[in-house]
Amino acid sequence: MEKDKEALIAEIRRLKQERDAAIMAHYYTDGDIQDIADVVGDSLALAQKARTLSNKVIVLCGVHFMGETAKILCPDKTVLVPDMEAGCSLADSCPADEFEAFVKAHPGHTVVSYVNTSAAVKALTDVVVTSSNARKIVDALPRDEKIIFGPDRNLGNYINSETGRQMLLWDGACHVHEQFSLQAIIDLKKQHPGARLLVHPECKKAVTLLADHVGSTASLLDYARNSDATEFIVATESGILHKMRQLCPGKSFIPAPPEEAGCACNNCSYMKLNTLGKLRDCLRDMSPAIEVDPEIARKAIRPIDRMLELSK
Ligand code: 13P
Ligand code: SF4
């Protein structure tokens, strides 16, 4: 390891102790961030574990909505993020005022929102879901319940097809997951006939139809660990490959190709804003910290708690 990086990591460890901080990281962050984190997980695990931590401070290395969720769940903790600009194209595809008008235009519906939303959208929601528990939670709702699902049209379509529901979908999407090339995946499967295709449900339907396994990042990781196969094509953000390679030595993981040859489109540019340098700076400065409007937090905690209850 380079000297500068070693010194930076030592400084982060020292500041972490001093501040009584826990570092939480999503699987899409850089390997260096995952390796220094106390907790690495998918969106559900990060939400579940935030509340169980005894530390005074959480540094959430992920994207803004993950920090917001941690702050809503742990209002007495300071929740820091290395970069306030780490947003999410999917959350951005669902402005709260437009979503509120959509909900009002369809009275009598239960509102199910993906965790990839702002706190203001969660405040308009009856139950939050992640890609880990969306199917289970939708299945738990009465069969005749009319449901609005937002904001991801791909995850919504996938849950509709798995559950036989006809949820009304908000028309949002993630720019990373929408760009995988079906034709390039078909070509790759021909070159690697023994490889299993692992797909996140934010991908387009045509890609999920080809998959050997569709699931959240944690579920894709579990499948790879437990499978007899030794080769996998991975259609989700590239950060997960770090953990897959770490936990499955001897197996090989091939990133699914994007539409545009040669682009790094399977990197979430927001997730990659989390760097060791910014992680050190936020622990040193105790900033930037996530704040949530108390009235929004009061409304948003209910659907998040309902999710955590239904996920048990
Ligand atoms: P997970 O629920 O699998 O963590 O996915 C989060 C996410 O942002 C996917 O793009
Ligand atoms: Fe949002 Fe997509 Fe990045 Fe996930 S990969 S955080 S959905 S922009």
Q: Judge if the beta carbon of residue 117 lies within 6 A of ligand 2.
A: no
Task: Report how far ligand 1's centroid is from the alpha carbon of 202 (Å).
Answer: 8
Per-residue model confidence (pLDDT) at position 111? 98
Atom of ligand 2 nearest to the CA of 236: 5
* Banded pLDDT at 186 (limits 50, 70, 90): very high
- The pocket around ligand 1, CB under 6 angstroms, is made up of 42-43, 116, 130-132, 174, 202, 216-217
- DSSP labels, 146-162: -EEEESBHHHHHHHHHH
Atom of ligand 1 nearest to the CA of 46: 4
pLDDT at position 28 over 90: yes
Task: Report how far ligand 1's centroid is from the alpha carbon of 105 (Å).
Answer: 29
Task: Report how far ligand 2's centroid is from the alpha carbon of 174 (Å).
Answer: 6
Which residues have C-beta within 8 Å of that of residue 152, sequence separation ≥ 6?
90, 114, 116, 170, 172, 173, 174, 202
Domains of the chain: 2-86+271-292 (3.40.50.10800), 90-173+297-310 (3.40.50.10800), 177-255 (3.40.50.10800)
Average pLDDT over residues 152-156: 98
C-alpha to C-alpha distance for 1 and 136, rounded to whole angstroms: 43
Q: Within 10 A of 21 (CB to CB), how many other CB atoms are there?
A: 23
Per-residue model confidence (pLDDT) at position 264? 74
Per-residue model confidence (pLDDT) at position 80? 98
> Is the model's pTM score more than 0.75?
yes
Task: Report how far ligand 1's centroid is from the alpha carbon of 2 (Å).
Answer: 31
Residue type, 46: L
Average pLDDT over residues 182-204: 96
Q: Judge if the beta carbon of residue 94 lies within 6 A of ligand 2.
A: no
Kindly report, residue by residue over 204-226, the tens digit of the pLDDT.
Answer: 999 999 999 999 999 999 999 99
pLDDT at position 187 over 90: yes
Kindly report, residue by residue over 57-105, the tens digit of the pLDDT.
Answer: 999 999 999 999 999 999 999 999 999 999 999 999 999 999 999 999 9
Task: Report how far ligand 1's centroid is from the alpha carbon of 164 (Å).
Answer: 23
Kindly report, residue by residue over 58-71, the tens digit of the pLDDT.
Answer: 999 999 999 999 99
Average pLDDT over residues 141-154: 98
Q: Judge if the beta carbon of residue 116 lies within 6 A of ligand 2.
A: yes
Per-residue model confidence (pLDDT) at position 195? 98
In the block, tokens 């209002």 appear at 75
Q: Whose CA is nearest to atom 1 of ligand 2?
A: 88
Per-residue model confidence (pLDDT) at position 259? 78
Nearest residue to 252 via CA among 233, 227, 226, 228: 233
Task: Report how far ligand 2's centroid is from the alpha carbon of 176 (Å).
Answer: 7
pLDDT at position 27 over 90: yes
Kindly report, residue by residue over 243-297, the tens digit of the pLDDT.
Answer: 999 999 999 999 998 777 777 778 999 999 999 999 999 999 999 999 999 999 9
Q: Judge if the beta carbon of residue 63 lies within 6 A of ligand 2.
A: yes
In this structure, the strands spanning 57-61 and 78-80 are: parallel
Q: Judge if the beta carbon of residue 89 lies within 6 A of ligand 2.
A: yes
Per-residue model confidence (pLDDT) at position 261? 72
